[in-house]
C-alpha cells in the first residue's frame, strides 16, 4: 500500500510556473479528489504525480509507474487502434511493447473490458466510439496496468449516468483492492464521495482534508 507525499513542490512548463510550494499528502488505498477552478493546476499536479512533468523544485514521493488516465480530449480521435488494443497497451509496462502479451495479460484485458461493460466494443476502432464509451476504454486501460496508483484526469466529465456509474464503481473496486486513486474533478458529488480532497487555487493548495470539510459552500 503506497500513499504519496508532496513537499514544497514547484512545477510547470517552460517559462511558466503553475504549482507553487504545494505540500500535501495522498493517503494509500483511498480515493483523493483534486478540485479547483479551471487553470488552478489539477492536470499539472497529476502530470507530476504521473512522472510526465518534472518538478522544478521540491519533492514528490511516489511509486514507480503509476497508471495515468489522461483527459479524453488529449487522446487523438483518429488513432488507428481497436478498443481491445487500447486496453492492452496497459499491459506494456509489464511486458514491453515489443514482447507478445501472454494469455494472462489478455485475460486481464478482457476482465477490464468487462468491468467497464465494453466487451462488445472490443473490436471497434477507438475513434469510432462515443465520448463516454471512449472514456470507459481509457479507464479500462488504466485498470489493466494493475498499478498501486491510479491517476485520472476528469474521468467522468460529460458522461451519461451509466458511464459515470461504471467508472465510479470501477474506482471504488480499485480502492477496495488497495489501489491509491487520485482524480481531478469538477463534479461536486464525485468529489464528495472521495475519502480525501485537495483544493487548488492558482497553483497553490488552499485546503486539504475530508471532502465535507474542504468543500464548504464558501
Query: In the 3-class helix/strand/coil scheme, how is 162-218 assigned residue by residue?
Result: HHHHHHHHHHHHHHHCCCEEEEECCCHHHHHHCCEEEEEECCEEEEEECHHHHCCCC
Among 38, 96, 103, 217, binds ligand ATP (CB under 6 A): 38
CB nearer to ligand ATP: pick between 13 and 128: 13
Question: Which residue, 14 or 80, has its beta carbon nearer to ligand ATP?
Answer: 14
Judged by phi (left if over 0) then psi (alpha if -120 to 50, else beta), residue 154 lies in left
Least separation in angstroms between residue 72's CB and ligand ATP is 12
Please identify which residue in 24, 31, 44, 179 interacts with ligand ATP, judged by CB under 6 A.
44
How far apart, in whole angstroms, are the C-alpha atoms of residue 82 and residue 74? 17
Beta carbon nearer to ligand ATP, 112 or 214: 214
Nearest in space to 151 (alpha carbons), one of 42, 58, 1: 42
43 binds ligand ATP (CB under 6 A): yes
Residues 2-31 binding ligand ATP (CB under 6 A) are 13, 16, 18
Q: Which of 3, 41, 90, 211 binds ligand ATP (CB under 6 A)?
A: 41
Residue choice 11, 22, 32, 40 for contact with ligand ATP (CB under 6 A): 40
The pairing of beta strand 4-13 with beta strand 16-26: antiparallel
Q: Is 103 in the site for ligand ATP (CB under 6 A)?
A: no
- In a 13 Å sphere around the CA of 36, the CA atoms on its Cβ side amount to 24
- Interface pick for ligand ATP out of 8, 39, 52, 188 (rule CB under 6 A): 39
**Residues that bind ligand ATP in the complex, under the rule CB under 6 A:** 13, 16, 18, 36, 38-44, 184
Amino acid at each position: 500500500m503506497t500513499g504519496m507525499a508532496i513537499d514544497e513542490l514547484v512545477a510547470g512548463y517552460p517559462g511558466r510556473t503553475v504549482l507553487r510550494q504545494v505540500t500535501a499528502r495522498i493517503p494509500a488505498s483511498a480515493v483523493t479528489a483534486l478540485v479547483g477552478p479551471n487553470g488552478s493546476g489539477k492536470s499539472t499536479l497529476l502530470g507530476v504525480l504521473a512522472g510526465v512533468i518534472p518538478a522544478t523544485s521540491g519533492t514528490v514521493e511516489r511509486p514507480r509507474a503509476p497508471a495515468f488516465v489522461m483527459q479524453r480530449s488529449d487522446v487523438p480521435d483518429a488513432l488507428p487502434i481497436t478498443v481491445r488494443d487500447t486496453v492492452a497497451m496497459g499491459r506494456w509496462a509489464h511486458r514491453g511493447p515489443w514482447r507478445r502479451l501472454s494469455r494472462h495479460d489478455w485475460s486481464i484485458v478482457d476482465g477490464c473490458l468487462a468491468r467497464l461493460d465494453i466487451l462488445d466494443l472490443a473490436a471497434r476502432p477507438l475513434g469510432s466510439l462515443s465520448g463516454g464509451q471512449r472514456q470507459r476504454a481509457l479507464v479500462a486501460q488504466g485498470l489493466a496496468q494493475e498499478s498501486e496508483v491510479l491517476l485520472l484526469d476528469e474521468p467522468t466529465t460529460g458522461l451519461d449516468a451509466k458511464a459515470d456509474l461504471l467508472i465510479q464503481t470501477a474506482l471504488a473496486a480499485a480502492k477496495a483492492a488497495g489501489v491509491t486513486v487520485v482524480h481531478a474533478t469538477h463534479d461536486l458529488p464525485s468529489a464528495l464521495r472521495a475519502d480525501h480532497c485537495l483544493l487548488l487555487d492558482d497553483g497553490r493548495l488552499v485546503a486539504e482534508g475530508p471532502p465535507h470539510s474542504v468543500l464548504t459552500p464558501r
